[in-house]
Protein backbone atom coordinates (compact mmCIF):
# COMPACT_ATOMS: atom_id res chain seq x y z
CA UNK A 1 0.00 0.00 0.00
CA UNK A 2 1.30 3.46 -0.93
CA UNK A 3 0.58 6.88 0.55
CA UNK A 4 -0.45 9.36 -2.15
CA UNK A 5 -0.65 13.03 -1.15
CA UNK A 6 -2.29 15.61 -3.41
CA UNK A 7 -1.63 19.21 -2.41
CA UNK A 8 -4.48 21.10 -3.98
CA UNK A 9 -6.81 18.25 -3.18
CA UNK A 10 -9.98 19.87 -4.51
CA UNK A 11 -8.52 20.86 -7.87
CA UNK A 12 -9.93 19.09 -10.91
CA UNK A 13 -6.57 17.68 -11.98
CA UNK A 14 -5.68 16.72 -8.42
CA UNK A 15 -8.89 14.77 -7.91
CA UNK A 16 -8.55 13.04 -11.27
CA UNK A 17 -5.03 11.92 -10.37
CA UNK A 18 -6.09 10.86 -6.89
CA UNK A 19 -8.96 8.81 -8.32
CA UNK A 20 -6.59 6.93 -10.64
CA UNK A 21 -4.12 6.21 -7.84
CA UNK A 22 -6.66 5.43 -5.11
CA UNK A 23 -7.08 1.66 -5.46
CA UNK A 24 -5.69 -0.03 -2.36
CA UNK A 25 -3.78 3.06 -1.25
CA UNK A 26 -4.05 5.77 1.39
CA UNK A 27 -4.87 9.07 -0.31
CA UNK A 28 -4.27 12.39 1.42
CA UNK A 29 -6.19 15.36 0.02
CA UNK A 30 -4.57 18.53 1.32
CA UNK A 31 -6.64 21.63 0.61
CA UNK A 32 -7.82 24.90 2.07
CA UNK A 33 -9.98 24.68 5.21
CA UNK A 34 -13.71 24.49 4.56
CA UNK A 35 -15.46 23.37 1.42
CA UNK A 36 -16.30 19.88 0.31
CA UNK A 37 -14.42 16.79 1.45
CA UNK A 38 -14.65 14.41 -1.52
CA UNK A 39 -14.46 10.66 -1.07
CA UNK A 40 -12.59 8.35 -3.43
CA UNK A 41 -13.88 4.92 -4.30
CA UNK A 42 -11.37 2.12 -3.97
CA UNK A 43 -9.01 3.90 -1.61
CA UNK A 44 -7.96 2.02 1.50
CA UNK A 45 -8.24 5.30 3.37
CA UNK A 46 -8.89 8.94 2.53
CA UNK A 47 -7.38 11.56 4.81
CA UNK A 48 -8.31 15.24 4.53
CA UNK A 49 -5.77 17.77 5.74
CA UNK A 50 -6.10 21.55 5.97
CA UNK A 51 -3.43 23.18 3.82
CA UNK A 52 -2.81 26.83 3.00
CA UNK A 53 -0.25 26.86 0.22
CA UNK A 54 0.83 30.45 0.80
CA UNK A 55 1.69 29.79 4.46
CA UNK A 56 5.15 28.55 3.58
CA UNK A 57 6.36 28.55 7.18
CA UNK A 58 3.81 25.81 7.92
CA UNK A 59 4.81 23.49 5.03
CA UNK A 60 7.22 21.35 7.07
CA UNK A 61 4.71 21.01 9.87
CA UNK A 62 1.97 19.99 7.43
CA UNK A 63 4.14 17.28 5.86
CA UNK A 64 5.18 16.03 9.30
CA UNK A 65 1.53 15.86 10.38
CA UNK A 66 0.57 13.90 7.27
CA UNK A 67 3.40 11.41 7.69
CA UNK A 68 2.68 10.99 11.40
CA UNK A 69 -0.93 10.05 10.65
CA UNK A 70 -0.71 8.31 7.27
CA UNK A 71 2.90 7.14 7.03
CA UNK A 72 5.73 8.25 4.74
CA UNK A 73 4.50 9.90 1.55
CA UNK A 74 5.33 7.74 -1.48
CA UNK A 75 3.80 9.97 -4.17
CA UNK A 76 3.28 13.72 -3.78
CA UNK A 77 1.47 15.73 -6.43
CA UNK A 78 1.33 19.53 -6.30
CA UNK A 79 -1.77 20.75 -8.12
CA UNK A 80 -2.49 24.04 -6.37
CA UNK A 81 -2.08 27.32 -8.22
CA UNK A 82 -3.81 30.45 -9.53
CA UNK A 83 -4.04 32.21 -12.88
CA UNK A 84 -4.41 35.63 -11.29
CA UNK A 85 -5.54 38.79 -13.01
CA UNK A 86 -3.01 39.81 -15.68
CA UNK A 87 -4.68 43.16 -16.39
CA UNK A 88 -4.68 44.07 -12.70
CA UNK A 89 -1.12 42.86 -12.26
CA UNK A 90 0.14 45.31 -14.87
CA UNK A 91 -0.68 48.19 -12.53
CA UNK A 92 -0.89 46.55 -9.09
CA UNK A 93 2.30 45.10 -7.65
CA UNK A 94 0.33 43.31 -4.92
CA UNK A 95 -1.33 41.16 -7.58
CA UNK A 96 2.08 40.37 -9.08
CA UNK A 97 3.35 39.27 -5.68
CA UNK A 98 0.21 37.18 -5.06
CA UNK A 99 0.62 35.25 -8.32
CA UNK A 100 4.37 34.74 -7.98
CA UNK A 101 4.07 33.66 -4.35
CA UNK A 102 1.46 30.96 -4.98
CA UNK A 103 2.71 29.73 -8.34
CA UNK A 104 6.45 29.82 -7.66
CA UNK A 105 7.52 30.54 -4.07
CA UNK A 106 4.99 28.25 -2.37
CA UNK A 107 5.64 25.49 -4.91
CA UNK A 108 9.42 25.67 -4.45
CA UNK A 109 9.01 25.69 -0.68
CA UNK A 110 6.83 22.59 -0.55
CA UNK A 111 8.93 20.73 -3.11
CA UNK A 112 11.99 21.35 -0.93
CA UNK A 113 10.28 19.99 2.18
CA UNK A 114 8.97 16.91 0.38
CA UNK A 115 12.24 16.22 -1.44
CA UNK A 116 14.21 16.33 1.80
CA UNK A 117 11.86 13.83 3.42
CA UNK A 118 11.95 11.46 0.44
CA UNK A 119 15.70 11.77 -0.07
CA UNK A 120 16.28 10.74 3.54
CA UNK A 121 14.37 7.50 2.81
CA UNK A 122 15.88 7.03 -0.64
CA UNK A 123 12.51 6.69 -2.36
CA UNK A 124 9.49 8.64 -3.55
CA UNK A 125 7.87 10.40 -6.48
CA UNK A 126 7.22 14.12 -6.80
CA UNK A 127 5.04 15.73 -9.48
CA UNK A 128 5.42 19.46 -10.08
CA UNK A 129 3.03 21.21 -12.44
CA UNK A 130 4.80 23.62 -14.72
CA UNK A 131 3.15 24.81 -17.94
CA UNK A 132 3.95 25.56 -21.55
CA UNK A 133 3.26 29.16 -20.48
CA UNK A 134 6.70 29.16 -18.88
CA UNK A 135 8.64 27.90 -21.91
CA UNK A 136 8.69 31.33 -23.51
CA UNK A 137 6.71 33.91 -21.59
CA UNK A 138 3.99 35.64 -23.59
CA UNK A 139 2.87 39.23 -23.24
CA UNK A 140 -0.75 38.09 -22.76
CA UNK A 141 -0.02 36.33 -19.43
CA UNK A 142 3.55 37.26 -18.56
CA UNK A 143 3.07 37.29 -14.78
CA UNK A 144 1.64 33.76 -14.62
CA UNK A 145 4.08 32.65 -17.32
CA UNK A 146 7.09 34.01 -15.44
CA UNK A 147 6.00 32.18 -12.28
CA UNK A 148 5.83 28.94 -14.26
CA UNK A 149 9.18 29.68 -15.89
CA UNK A 150 10.72 30.07 -12.45
CA UNK A 151 9.10 26.88 -11.18
CA UNK A 152 10.19 24.95 -14.26
CA UNK A 153 13.79 26.04 -13.79
CA UNK A 154 13.72 25.27 -10.08
CA UNK A 155 12.21 21.83 -10.62
CA UNK A 156 14.65 21.04 -13.43
CA UNK A 157 17.59 21.81 -11.17
CA UNK A 158 16.05 19.85 -8.31
CA UNK A 159 15.52 16.84 -10.59
CA UNK A 160 19.22 16.87 -11.40
CA UNK A 161 20.10 17.22 -7.72
CA UNK A 162 17.89 14.21 -6.92
CA UNK A 163 19.40 12.04 -9.64
CA UNK A 164 20.61 8.78 -8.11
CA UNK A 165 18.84 9.43 -4.80
CA UNK A 166 15.90 7.12 -5.48
CA UNK A 167 13.52 10.10 -5.72
CA UNK A 168 11.76 10.64 -9.06
CA UNK A 169 10.70 14.19 -9.89
CA UNK A 170 8.26 14.63 -12.78
CA UNK A 171 7.78 18.06 -14.36
CA UNK A 172 4.35 18.08 -15.99
CA UNK A 173 4.01 20.69 -18.74
CA UNK A 174 0.39 20.78 -19.88
CA UNK A 175 -0.91 23.25 -22.39
CA UNK A 176 -4.31 24.91 -22.04
CA UNK A 177 -6.49 22.84 -19.69
CA UNK A 178 -10.24 23.15 -20.15
CA UNK A 179 -11.76 23.40 -16.68
CA UNK A 180 -12.87 25.67 -13.85
CA UNK A 181 -9.62 27.62 -13.86
CA UNK A 182 -9.99 28.61 -17.54
CA UNK A 183 -13.77 28.91 -17.69
CA UNK A 184 -14.85 31.54 -20.20
CA UNK A 185 -11.52 31.53 -22.04
CA UNK A 186 -11.10 30.40 -25.65
CA UNK A 187 -9.31 27.01 -25.69
CA UNK A 188 -5.90 27.00 -27.35
CA UNK A 189 -4.69 24.42 -29.89
CA UNK A 190 -3.88 21.04 -28.36
CA UNK A 191 -5.97 21.74 -25.26
CA UNK A 192 -6.51 18.98 -22.71
CA UNK A 193 -9.10 18.10 -20.10
CA UNK A 194 -8.21 17.40 -16.45
CA UNK A 195 -8.87 13.70 -17.14
CA UNK A 196 -6.42 13.65 -20.04
CA UNK A 197 -3.76 15.39 -17.95
CA UNK A 198 -4.31 12.88 -15.13
CA UNK A 199 -4.04 9.93 -17.52
CA UNK A 200 -0.66 11.18 -18.77
CA UNK A 201 0.70 11.90 -15.29
CA UNK A 202 -0.37 8.57 -13.82
CA UNK A 203 1.06 6.67 -16.79
CA UNK A 204 4.39 8.46 -16.28
CA UNK A 205 4.37 7.70 -12.53
CA UNK A 206 3.74 4.01 -13.17
CA UNK A 207 5.88 3.47 -16.26
CA UNK A 208 8.75 5.87 -15.63
CA UNK A 209 10.28 8.04 -18.31
CA UNK A 210 11.97 11.41 -18.79
CA UNK A 211 11.71 14.20 -16.25
CA UNK A 212 9.71 16.47 -18.54
CA UNK A 213 6.18 15.37 -19.42
CA UNK A 214 4.52 17.40 -22.20
CA UNK A 215 0.72 17.14 -22.26
CA UNK A 216 -0.14 16.46 -25.01
CA UNK A 217 3.18 15.36 -26.47
CA UNK A 218 2.70 17.45 -29.63
CA UNK A 219 3.38 20.61 -27.63
CA UNK A 220 7.02 19.64 -27.27
CA UNK A 221 7.53 20.06 -31.01
CA UNK A 222 5.48 23.26 -31.11
CA UNK A 223 7.46 24.95 -28.34
CA UNK A 224 10.81 23.78 -29.66
CA UNK A 225 10.54 26.54 -32.26
CA UNK A 226 9.13 29.19 -29.90
CA UNK A 227 12.55 30.62 -28.93
CA UNK A 228 13.26 31.40 -32.57
CA UNK A 229 10.12 33.38 -33.37
CA UNK A 230 10.84 37.12 -33.75
CA UNK A 231 9.72 39.21 -30.78
CA UNK A 232 7.44 41.30 -33.03
CA UNK A 233 5.45 38.13 -33.75
CA UNK A 234 5.70 36.59 -30.29
CA UNK A 235 4.30 39.62 -28.48
CA UNK A 236 1.04 39.19 -30.38
CA UNK A 237 0.62 35.56 -29.37
CA UNK A 238 -2.51 34.84 -27.29
CA UNK A 239 -2.29 33.22 -23.88
State the catalytic residues. Answer: 144
Cα gap 48→107, rounded to integer Å: 20
* Residues whose CB falls within 8 Å of the CB of residue 228, separated by 6 or more in sequence, listed in order: none
The answer to whether 121 and 163 are in contact (CB under 8 A) is: no
Residue 167 host element (H or E):
strand 167-174
Strands 45-50 and 26-31: parallel
* Residues whose CB falls within 8 Å of the CB of residue 195, separated by 6 or more in sequence, listed in order: 16
In the sheet that holds 75-78, the strands lie side by side as 45-50, 26-31, 3-7, 75-78, 124-129, 167-174, 212-215
The answer to whether 22 and 43 are in contact (CB under 8 A) is: yes
What is the Cβ-side half-sphere exposure of residue 222, based on CA atoms within 13 angstroms? 17
SS3 at position 69: helix
Amino acid sequence: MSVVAVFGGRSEIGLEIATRLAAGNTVVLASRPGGERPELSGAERVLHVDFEADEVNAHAETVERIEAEAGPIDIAVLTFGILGDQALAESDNAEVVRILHTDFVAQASLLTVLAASMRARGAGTLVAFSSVAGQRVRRANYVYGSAKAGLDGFASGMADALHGSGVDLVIARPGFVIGRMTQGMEPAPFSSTPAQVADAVVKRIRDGGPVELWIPWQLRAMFSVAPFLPRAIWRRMPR
